[in-house]
Structure 1
């Protein structure tokens, strides 16, 4: 059974403090929301990772920026029932699938390669969809065949091409796609996370929801509460790492005196311009002190 990533779990825990504060108007009025100044923490994280074996492992390995997702067929789902099954992860192999393991290698446009752990087609079927629920007797998507192809995944040094399983699903003319490599397990961080603090969590979140790269531009998506404003991201660059700190600004204009905050999460995006492309440097997140994308439990 699939479980949420460590980073995502910790992020939601950090955000819960923010949501507690924004759940009702009376509590929010007593909180002074200010932008975080994470410079000291960013330097602490960069120094803790410097020269470590964990850093060496990250730099010589294959570590995507986000968890793998299923590539959907052209035109999307044919019915709401299929969409619901996908969200539950209710895929089942009903045809004979290849048993071979592909050559698991990630390749970048500059010719750099890294090895990865291969997945059989049957192993990849178990990872299709968005949910962690096994088929429960309800509506399922039937995988009848598979063949090898390729797909691209985002990493700190740009898009990497990896082998992928192209699945034939009953009722669809074009394939569903999933990487034929396992989501890697990240090394332990050499620095402890910051302890929970509602006052700080209002300003500094538990980590980016998403990170995309284009040249020297990093775009970071950050979740926050309904009574706070947009996000802002700062970056500390060293020769080995790029440490990101995501903060939430006060809302402008401020919340009205009779406006009640709800528990809805909002997503805003912020960009930061680096001095040079990330390259083989490691992207780290300031509050948790971990790589931006964590391994699955």
Structure 2
């Protein structure tokens, strides 16, 4: 299994309170306090999650369709270009319509139509970077001559203005987080001169991509001491890295998890500040250890009740 990692600003290991409902040993003490409030809310979230047949029979990706395959060796400039979608091709891109491809799920397969390499590139390339030295574009406002008057405004071109150069392309498959677990999905792999790993653009035609259902959150407000999750940052067997949304003055962050056979509900608990604090949302990565590998289970947010997407930027 390919492992995805992201830098962690906060890593907390959860060693208890994460067994599936009903799996506690006989005589185990009932959860109290924040854990009890979380379990009650998580049980409601799990019961409300009724996604419909396409969730288990169709193809619903839970991550972005553009990704790197392996360590790309980003510099600040190439990372900016990747995130902005700045590309230039140095080869003719195939326009032929490929044959249908196969998505390999953990326990099933699905045949889907694919797009051509040139169609995938059109979705990959989202425009040109701003003009700067070495790139033949016309800046809207040309810099003043070197011997001109000093206006007090820097006329130096931005450093992150170079597109990524496509030198080759091939059709392959890449691991993708989906509603049915991690699947091998057909993708066009673009070799990039400035990177040490290719950039993949998923090749499944839009007509074959289903849309995640709208979640149904519990009607009761989230208890004051609990916080919700925004996304998944890594999935490594039974270890999840998620980002929780906390306040700027919150302390004592503790990740919480509720496991069932078909879903995993995640969130956290904090101690709220009683003083004056700015209304600022911070993203805090935390690590959660499950009692069993995630597999095909869906990870849900305890706040809104929706499935978490895998983000690797």
Match of 1:235 in 2: 258
Cα 1:193/1:96, change in 2 over 3 Å: farther
Q: Which runs of 5+ in 1 are unaligned?
A: 1-33
**TM-score, normalising length: structure 1:** 0.63
Larger Rg: 2
| Separation in 2, partners of 1:202, 1:194 | 17
**Shift in Å, 1:268:** 2.7
Match of 1:284 in 2: 300
Q: 1:95 aligns with which of 91, 94, 108?
A: 91
Q: Which runs of 5+ in 2 are unaligned?
A: 1-32, 132-161
Aligned residues: 243
**Shift in Å, 1:71:** 0.9
Quick check: 1:142–1:170 contact (8 Å CA) kept in 2? yes
Quick check: 1:283–1:291 contact (8 Å CA) kept in 2? yes
Higher helix share: 1
**Shift in Å, 1:98:** 1.5
| SS of residue paired to 2:54 | helix
Quick check: 1:58–1:282 contact (8 Å CA) kept in 2? no
Considering only aligned residues, what root-mean-square deviation do their CA atoms show, in Å?
Answer: 3.9
Cα 1:236/1:227, change in 2 over 3 Å: same
**TM-score, normalising length: structure 2:** 0.60
Q: Give matches, 1:194-273, under 5 Å.
A: 200=223, 203-205=226-228, 207-210=229-232, 212-229=234-251, 230-238=253-261, 241-250=262-271, 263=280, 265-273=282-290
Farther-moved stretch of structure 1 (85-94 vs 179-188): 179-188
Cα 1:228/1:173, change in 2 over 3 Å: closer
Matching of residue 168 in structure 1 with residue 191 in structure 2:
yes
**Shift in Å, 1:120:** 2.7
Residue by residue, what CA displacement relative to the aligned partner does 1:1-29 show, whole Å, maximum 9, x if unpaired? Answer: xxxxxxxxxxxxxxxxxxxxxxxxxxxxx
